[in-house]
Structure 1
């Protein structure tokens, strides 16, 4: 049995190995609240991205490997310096007051959606996911699976290769009611909330995070809108894979 010569061994060692996939960079706006925290842990911990940069108001020591806070001066994205990224994620859940890390982060207001998306597009982002919360039972049937307003239409017109909109239901904010009529109206509205369909009720943050993470990795080119019903079905036992197949693959024409 012949053995390889030293020259053959040297040539073999110099041959290039299999190409290592280049992991994209991600920009995140609004990594606050239970949902933002859950999504951030998944996209950073999953190690699918070379670097996850999170927009912040101030510097804060962060121990997550693969994550970097990106302090911005002011609330006007048009004035922010450009970064280099291929993937973007925008969420609107407000920070929890007792979490110092979350108080240091920058969270957009709904009216800033188009400006933040435009800044991310200028940074080179090709895939954008937006988690759009709404009070349960308040979203008209006609816009659940399409673009809901002018801002969303403007974002869609920015030229992203992949645009993912996830409509996540939330509990209505509690209001302080003063006089008798206000309290009576509050009681009636509270009673009506029990009539909301189960599939339109909020689901746990971890389930929404799983759907967002998977959609970012699997969505083909185009615009993909996840209705509240789809988010709810994906949260059920063994429902995520089936919903992704029905939502993303069907739109891809397979």
Structure 2
């Protein structure tokens, strides 16, 4: 049995090993509502990012590892101090009123999309995902398949290496117990829901979050728009990988 001189062993121990792949940092605006909370849990819990900085209005006790609140003063994103990040995520779901944590977070308005995206680009963000909730079937087919408005076109012109736009159905407002009129209205809406085509029904937040998380990790360079129909199909059983391959033209080893 051969042995190595102690000096060689010591030198080998001091020699640096293979460099670890650096995890990117993320800026997240709009981690509120059922969808924002689901996405936040996935991007932080998946440990794919070295740090997830969540825009906030005020501080509160943080309970997630690799997450940091980033309080901002005012709503003018172009006046905010720059941060260092490679990935950005913008969502617009309002905070739920009885969640103190969500009320402390900063949620953009749709009109602020361009300014927030421009700030993120100045922070070094190369990959940006924008999740735009809307009611299924309310947009023309041509708009569903492409950039919906001038604001999104201006965001696309900012020079992101990867721009991901996800259009998902918005969860319907739930009526409380209320009085007799409220209960009657709830019963009528429940009955009418059976008349809504299956493809036009809301998609659960967890399914949209899975699609957003996967797209951030797998999308190649370019602009990628997920129409509501694709989001719905991805939410079906065993539909996520099929839709990802068709949408992003990515392939997985068997």
The farther-off stretch of 97-106 and 197-206 is 197-206
Aligned equivalents of 2:138, 2:191: Cα separation in 1: 15
Where do 1:5-154 residues align within 5 Å? 5-154=5-154
Deviation string 1:76-111 (CA, Å, 9 cap, x unpaired) is 101111111000000000000000000000000011
Deviation string 1:35-74 (CA, Å, 9 cap, x unpaired) is 0000000000111111100000111111111111111111
Q: TM-score, normalised by structure 1?
A: 0.89
Q: TM-score, normalised by structure 2?
A: 0.89
Could you tell me which residue of structure 2 aligns to residue 161 of structure 1?
Answer: 161
Deviation string 1:110-158 (CA, Å, 9 cap, x unpaired) is 1110010000001000000000011122121111121011000000000
Aligned equivalents of 1:238, 1:42: Cα separation in 2: 19
Deviation at 1:173, TM superposition (A): 5.4
Could you tell me which residue of structure 1 aligns to residue 242 of structure 2?
Answer: 242
**Deviation >2 Å, runs of 4+:** 171-175, 188-197
Q: Is the 8 A contact 2:136 2:200 kept in 1?
A: yes
Aligned equivalents of 1:153, 1:250: Cα separation in 2: 25
Could you tell me which residue of structure 2 aligns to residue 203 of structure 1?
Answer: 203
Deviation at 1:197, TM superposition (A): 3.0
Could you tell me which residue of structure 2 aligns to residue 213 of structure 1?
Answer: 213
Deviation at 1:14, TM superposition (A): 2.4
Deviation at 1:5, TM superposition (A): 1.4
> Which 5+ residue runs of structure 1 have no aligned equivalent?
176-187
> Which 5+ residue runs of structure 2 have no aligned equivalent?
176-187
Aligned equivalents of 2:140, 2:172: Cα separation in 1: 16
Deviation at 1:170, TM superposition (A): 1.5
Aligned equivalents of 1:143, 1:77: Cα separation in 2: 27
Q: Is the 8 A contact 1:145 1:227 kept in 2?
A: yes
Deviation at 1:192, TM superposition (A): 7.8
Matched length: 239
Q: Is the 8 A contact 2:244 2:250 kept in 1?
A: no
Deviation at 1:10, TM superposition (A): 1.9
Q: Is the 8 A contact 1:33 1:94 kept in 2?
A: yes
Could you tell me which residue of structure 1 aligns to residue 183 of structure 2?
Answer: none
**Pairwise CA RMSD:** 2.1
Deviation at 1:33, TM superposition (A): 0.2
